[in-house]
Amino acid sequence: MLDDFLTRAILAGLGLVLVTGALGSFVVWRRMAYFGDATAHATILGVALSFAFSAPLYLGTLGVALAVALIVAHLSARGQTVDTVLGVLAHGALALGLVAASFVPSLRSDLDAFLFGDILLVSRADLVWIWGGAALVLGLLVWRWQRLVTASVNEELAMAAGIDPARERLILSLALAIVVAIAIRIVGALLISAMLIIPAAAARGFARTPEQMAGSATAIGAISVLAGLGASFWLGTPAGPSVVAVSAVIYTFSLICYGKG
């Protein structure tokens, strides 16, 4: 069954949305969209380093993504303006990655696939990384769910309950870095933030509890993957952008119906 490229693409997409629904909900609640962009852009540097040193792709992207998360946490703890730090890291790392990629001949022709994704080229080895990373992050979110929700809703209430908001924020940042690293093959560095934000924003209109929002965002992500891949197959459109486009259409309908996004 896994010899079928479309089956592998579906499995990869479903593995990704299994965790982006819940994680994207936290991104929306905490207004961390810019952090997602910064981490995703920085992974291009990880791709270039992986190709340059013949290292596994996911190790390179994961290493850079985790480094960005730790740098942001360290600088914000020292009083640096988070938006400024993220802006410098996002654009600086992306520019450095593109420059580094220009010196790696084997990467030049494949660079578009890492910028916009190419889910149709997912291999069996990719599926292992994707589902393994998704299971790790999902387990982490289930384990820390109540603490993460409390810290996201009200930091003062969290501190009163003995929860360290800074620690929960770091855990969330590391989880986001892992998801960005495994998603680069599917939707690319420039579109992963969309898969985190749009399904969660669409679900927020009709969800009444955090659990409902996370579950609904996961379902919307799954529908987007299946419909987007179907559109790509029948219409010949790029797979990654097609998935995001379907997600955006669902968000538009939710906005019209519920007036809240």
Structural domain including 172 reads 5-193
Domain assignment present for residue 204? The answer is no
Domain assignment present for residue 27? The answer is yes
Domain assignment present for residue 226? The answer is no
Count up the domains in the chain and report the number: 1
Domain assignment present for residue 87? The answer is yes
Q: Record the pTM.
A: 0.87
Domain assignment present for residue 128? The answer is yes
pLDDT value of residue 253: 92
Domain assignment present for residue 219? The answer is no
What does the H/E/C string look like for the chain? CCCCHHHHHHHHHHHHHHHHHHHHHHHHHCCCHHHHHHHHHHHHHHHHHHHHCCCCHHHHHHHHHHHHHHHHHHHHHCCCCHHHHHHHHHHHHHHHHHHHHHCCHHHHCCHHHHHHCCHHHCCHHHHHHHHHHHHHHHHHHHHHHHHHHHHHHCHHHHHHCCCCHHHHHHHHHHHHHHHHHHHCCCCCCCCHHHHHHHHHHHHHCCCCCHHHHHHHHHHHHHHHHHHHHHHHHHHCCCHHHHHHHHHHHHHHHHHHHHCCC
pLDDT value of residue 78: 67
pLDDT value of residue 224: 96
pLDDT digits (tens, 9 = 90+) for 196-220: 999 999 998 888 899 999 999 999 9
- Residue by residue, pLDDT tens for the chain (261 residues) are 445 888 999 999 999 999 999 999 998 888 777 777 788 888 888 888 888 888 888 888 889 888 888 887 777 666 566 677 777 877 888 888 888 888 887 776 677 778 888 888 888 888 999 999 999 999 999 999 999 999 888 888 888 888 988 888 889 888 988 998 888 888 888 788 889 999 999 998 888 899 999 999 999 999 999 999 999 989 989 888 999 999 999 999 998 887 655
What CATH number is given to the structural domain containing 44?
A: 1.10.3470.10
Domain assignment present for residue 37? The answer is yes
Domain assignment present for residue 109? The answer is yes
pLDDT value of residue 261: 55
